[in-house]
Amino acid sequence: MKAPAPLSKGTSLLLGLAAAASTLTAPPAFAEARLPPIDRDPNRCERAYTGNTIGQANAVSDKILDLRQCNFTGKNLSGKVLSGALLKEATLPNSILRETVLTKAYAVGADFTGADMTNAVIDRVDFRKANLKDVIFANAVITGGQFEGANLEGALFDGALIGNEDAKRLCANPTLTKEGRADVGCRIK
């Protein structure tokens, strides 16, 4: 019996790459993030009033802006830079977030009911399962956000600058009301 012919370098390389790629598994697109333990600093919630002052839009800072489970009901956080903030399960009903910068923030399960985010920059924020009922997003810039399972009932987007993919994601949310759909530019059925 004759031995098989040796593979060319190119074929060997392709087979090696294919084998390596087959061993890699992509993580689920929106798997629950593994977060560090909640910061034990008794003043961690107060850091929201200072914000993230080093990295700004890139969410680089000297310390994680850990606002998880903090209560900001009715508080004024206007103009603050909350880039990279961990807002999971934070409570922000009727808070004022005008001109606030929320970049690369993790707000899964947060309650923003009735918050005013007029003129806010909302870039790459994970709002999955968040309560955004009656939130005012007037003139806000919204890009790269996640809204799966979020409550968008009564949310207003008048004059908001919304990326095409974000508009698709918002329009796919069944809780977005007729007025919100019109503001976002959803096709009315």
Average pLDDT, the chain: 83
Residue 77 vs residue 10, higher pLDDT: 77
User: Where in the chain are the domains?
Assistant: 44-184
3-state SS, the chain, equals: CCCCCCCCHHHHHHHHHHHHHHHCCCCCCCCCCCCCCCCCCCCHHHHHHCCCCCCHHHCCCCCCCECCCCECCCCECCCCECCCCECCCCECCCCECCCCEEECCECCCCECCCCECCCCEEECCECCCCECCCCECCCCEEECCECCCCECCCCECCCCEECHHHHHHHHCCCCCCHHHHHHHCCCCC
| Neighbouring-strand partners of residue 131 | 111, 151
What's the mean pLDDT in 81-89?
A: 93
Give the per-residue pLDDT at 31.
52
Give the per-residue pLDDT at 102.
93
Residue 23 vs residue 51, higher pLDDT: 51
Contact 49, 79 (CB under 8 A): no
* pTM for the whole structure: 0.78
- Nearest partner of 92 among 77, 102, 103, judged by Cα: 77
- For 153, the token pair is 């009932």
Q: What is the pLDDT of residues 86-116, one digit of tens each?
A: 999 999 999 999 999 999 999 999 999 999 9
Q: 114-153 in b/e burial notation, b at 16+ Cβ within 10 A? A: bbbbbbbbbbbbbbbbbbbbbbbbbbbebbebbbeebbbb
- CA dist 42 and 180 (Å) reads 39
**pLDDT class of 189 with cuts at 50, 70, 90:** low
- Nearest partner of 149 among 90, 108, 105, judged by Cα: 108
Q: Is the pLDDT of residue 181 over 60?
A: yes
- Please state which architecture CATH assigns to domain 44-184: 3 Solenoid (2.160)
Q: What is the pLDDT of residues 120-171, one digit of tens each?
A: 999 999 999 999 999 999 999 999 999 999 999 999 999 999 999 999 999 9
